[in-house]
Structure formats: structure tokens, C-alpha cells
Amino acid sequence: MTKNCICTKWGDKYTSEEVNALFAAVARNTSGDVRFFCLTDDAQGLAPWIEALPLEATPLQKRIEAAQPNLRRSAGALRKVAVFSPDLISDLDGPLLCLDIDVLITGSMDALFEYMPDKVCMPPPFKARSHIETRGEGSVIRFDPKIHGFLYSEIDENTEEALVFSKGSEQRYTSMTAARFDALENYPSEWVVSFTRNCRPPLPLNLFMQPRLPEGASVLCFPSEPKAREAVNGHRNGLKSLRPAPWITQYL
């Protein structure tokens, strides 16, 4: 079966070249055929084998922005819920794996596509505690729009309530809603890892030792500073500083 993957790009935070690189990395690390979509407001520069989907100002998005006029960043983040629409891809066959553009593919993706196909799958939270409770990380989400239509209908039909519930966080909305419908399953923690949480040696060894990629990791996430290209040359942040990680370049 063809494996389906999607990312979202709007504004100027990410480039089409980065989307193209993400597709190439997914394709290299996935067996069989990959169908790759990009939900975007600007498809210029995307490789011809990437299927561009228009990111439009839907009634839902307008309601989100109207309800959060002073939280433009949060409203922008919640644009990602558009991928959950059962009508987004009319001829989609099977689950859809949604990836943030700034992740790095570091190993086989097959298990991420195939794991627990009837569930909404997300990595477990990188932080043990957070000021915004979440049950999963939003950098990697695997779902089936035909089965998990509630991910869209819940916020579409009850927008203001969903925004209050989500606290402006897409990953909180997604993971907590899926859990409420008894549909959430966390990927094994070693499959999707955080650079700062899982690659950085413990204090004070981080000041002397190079970060290392954990064995078995398929996706490396950069949810905070430094981002991938910055981490290659190290990152200064007091006691949480990181030594250079030149091995990252093989995955860029």
C-alpha cells in the first residue's frame, strides 16, 4: 500500500526547498511508494512530485482568528488542524502521517506509517511536566481522516470551546481530543526523539561531550533552540550549552 505523508507550510518561516528536502528524506527512508502532500499558501518551488493543497481562509480558520484576535501566533499554529479534514484529500487511501517541516529523518519510517493503524499516533511528550498539559508531541501525527474525523469536527462545530480547551496549542488539542475518544496511542519513545532532551548528555557532561543520536530513532525533532542547522556548530546557553554536532549534516 502507498504510504501517505503531509506537511504544512504558510508564511515565510519555511521554504519550498525545505519541503523538498523533507520529501526526499522520507522517500529515502520508506519502503514502497510514498505519496507526499504539502498544505500551503504558496506552492511555488515545490518539486513536481509533491502534491500541493491550497491552504485557504476557511470558515473554521476565520472563526479561530476571530476568537483569538490577540493570539495570532496561537491562531497560526492551529491552522494545522486543517489537515484533519476528511474532505482535504478526496482520493486518500489509508492513514496520513503529518510531519513538521523542521524535523530530520534519521532512520526507517515504515513503522511510523504502519503502527496501530486504527489509532491516532503521536510521540509521548518530550517534557515530563509542562505548563500546558499534553498527551503527545505534534511534530509527528499519524491518523486516518476517514476514521478520526472527530479531530476536525470537534473544533469545527465547537470552535470557541475547543480553543479554550486547547489553550492555543495544536498538540494539546490533538492529543487530548484523541484521548477523549479513546483513539490515542503513543509511539514507542525511542522512535521520535528531541535533540535537546534526548541527544544532549546530562549535566555537566554536555559541556564536554558531543550530543549523540539515540539508537533506533527515526525522527529527530527540534521543538526549541537550537534548530538543526544551528546545532551543527553547537549552542551556547549557560549550563545547558551544547557541543557541536557535525553528524547532523548527514541528515540535512
For residue 179, what pLDDT is reported?
97
As a whole-number percent, the residues of the chain with pLDDT over 70 amount to 94
DSSP state letter for 6? E
Domains, the chain, in order of start with CATH, read 3-186 (3.90.550.10), 192-251 (no CATH)
For residue 130, what pLDDT is reported?
63
Average pLDDT over residues 6-22: 95
pLDDT tens digits, residue range 126-185?
A: 986 666 789 999 999 999 999 999 999 999 999 989 988 888 889 999 999 999 999 999
Give the C-alpha separation, 106 to 29, whole Å.
8
Strands 120-122 and 184-186, how do they pair? parallel
Give the C-alpha separation, 177 to 171, whole Å.
10
Q: How many CB atoms lie within 10 A of CB 199?
A: 21
As a whole-number percent, the residues of the chain with pLDDT over 90 amount to 75
Residues 221/194, Cβ–Cβ less than 8 Å:
yes
For residue 249, what pLDDT is reported?
97
pLDDT tens digits, residue range 243-252?
A: 999 999 999 9
Task: Quote the pTM value.
Answer: 0.94
For residue 131, what pLDDT is reported?
66
Check whether 76 has a pLDDT greater than 60. Answer: no
Helices (DSSP H) in 29-126: which residue ranges?
59-67, 72-77, 110-114
For residue 129, what pLDDT is reported?
65
Check whether 30 has a pLDDT greater than 90. Answer: yes
Q: Which three cell numbers stand for residue 141?
A: 501525527
Q: How many CB atoms lie within 10 A of CB 247?
A: 14
**Closest alpha carbon to 121 in 39, 66, 192:** 192
For residue 239, what pLDDT is reported?
86
For residue 75, what pLDDT is reported?
44
pLDDT tens digits, residue range 80-120?
A: 899 999 999 999 999 999 999 999 999 999 999 999 999 99
pLDDT tens digits, residue range 202-228?
A: 888 888 999 999 999 999 999 988 999
Check whether 73 has a pLDDT greater than 50. Answer: no
For residue 231, what pLDDT is reported?
95
Give the C-alpha separation, 163 to 143, whole Å.
21
Place of cell 554536555: 206
For residue 74, what pLDDT is reported?
45
Distances 180 to 59, 228, 247 between C-alpha atoms, Å: 25, 34, 40
